[in-house]
């Protein structure tokens, strides 16, 4: 009962973005496409903001699954990019695991499409190898709620921690004073309600 909780640490965390591909995205129906797009980009921008090592991977991107969405490619031009030749579980791909281990991080923040396969399989594999795994539920999507709930249950029962991108950002940042403007900009860009708060506040206080 008195062990410290598994808390995200920006010096010990890496981000894995798995199979956010233009074709596969048409399969995602447990979350609205406008919201899902926003969540994925929010996660990507937070990875960027916290300078977390980020690894991209895709499955058969020259086939019907389609290419990685261009926004992700553009955000991480220098990130390891593993176009898997066929492995469904990204963890079965040696280059992917090597890239992860090369970061030296023990905490893995994972999101992808679809949740029960592209997220759950590497999450379970990583847990089995002793990594701490944080699933970004709202930047991961799948066919429907039945499928999602089952996938969450499987991952949670194996020790994965279920989070959302906002929680990840807050847990990594720890203290607003580390950079108020930076975190504020991230939230303003990806949470319309927060942006409105900033807009009204700035109008009244004369802030920019």
104 or 192: whose CB is closer to a copy of itself? 192
55 or 124: whose CB is closer to a copy of itself? 124
Structural contact between residues 88 and 120, judged by C-beta atoms closer than 8 angstroms = no
Tokens coding 186: 């991230």
Residue 170: how many other CB atoms lie within 10 Å = 16
Closest CA relative to residue 137, chosen from 159, 152, 153, 117? 152
Tell me the C-alpha distance between 7 and 59, whole Å: 31
Tell me the C-alpha distance between 113 and 142, whole Å: 6
Tell me the C-alpha distance between 182 and 153, whole Å: 34
Residue 59: how many other CB atoms lie within 10 Å = 24
Whether 170 sits among the annotated catalytic residues: the reply is: no
CB of 200 to a copy of itself, least distance (A): 4
| Cβ within 8 Å of residue 173, ≥6 positions away | 10, 50, 179, 183
Out of 100, 118, 168, 183, the active site residue is 118
CB of 108 to a copy of itself, least distance (A): 13
CB of 155 to a copy of itself, least distance (A): 9
CB of 53 to a copy of itself, least distance (A): 22
48 or 127: whose CB is closer to a copy of itself? 127
Q: How far is CA 165 from CA 23, 120, 177, 197, 207, in A?
A: 23, 17, 20, 20, 27
12 or 89: whose CB is closer to a copy of itself? 89
- Catalytic positions, written as ranges: 118
């Amino acid at each position: 009962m008195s062990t410290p909780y598994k808390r995200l640490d920006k010096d010990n965390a890496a981000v894995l973005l798995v199979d956010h591909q233009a074709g596969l995205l048409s399969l995602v129906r447990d979350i609205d496409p406008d919201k899902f797009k926003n969540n994925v980009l929010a996660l990507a921008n937070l990875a960027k903001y916290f300078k977390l090592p980020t690894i991209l991977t895709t499955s058969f991107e020259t086939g019907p699954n389609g290419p990685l969405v261009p926004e992700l490619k553009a955000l991480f031009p220098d990130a390891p990019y593993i176009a898997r030749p066929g492995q469904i579980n990204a963890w079965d791909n040696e280059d992917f695991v090597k890239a992860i281990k090369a970061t030296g991080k023990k905490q893995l923040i994972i999101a992808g499409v679809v949740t029960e396969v592209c997220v759950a399989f590497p999450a379970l594999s990583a847990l089995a190898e002793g990594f701490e795994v944080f699933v970004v539920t709202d930047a991961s999507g799948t066919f429907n709620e039945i499928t999602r709930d089952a996938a969450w249950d499987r991952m949670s029962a194996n020790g994965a921690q279920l989070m959302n991108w906002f929680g990840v950002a807050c847990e990594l940042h720890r203290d607003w004073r580390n950079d108020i403007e930076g975190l504020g900009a991230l939230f303003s860009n990806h949470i319309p309600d927060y942006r409105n708060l900033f807009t009204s506040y700035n109008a009244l206080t004369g802030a920019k």
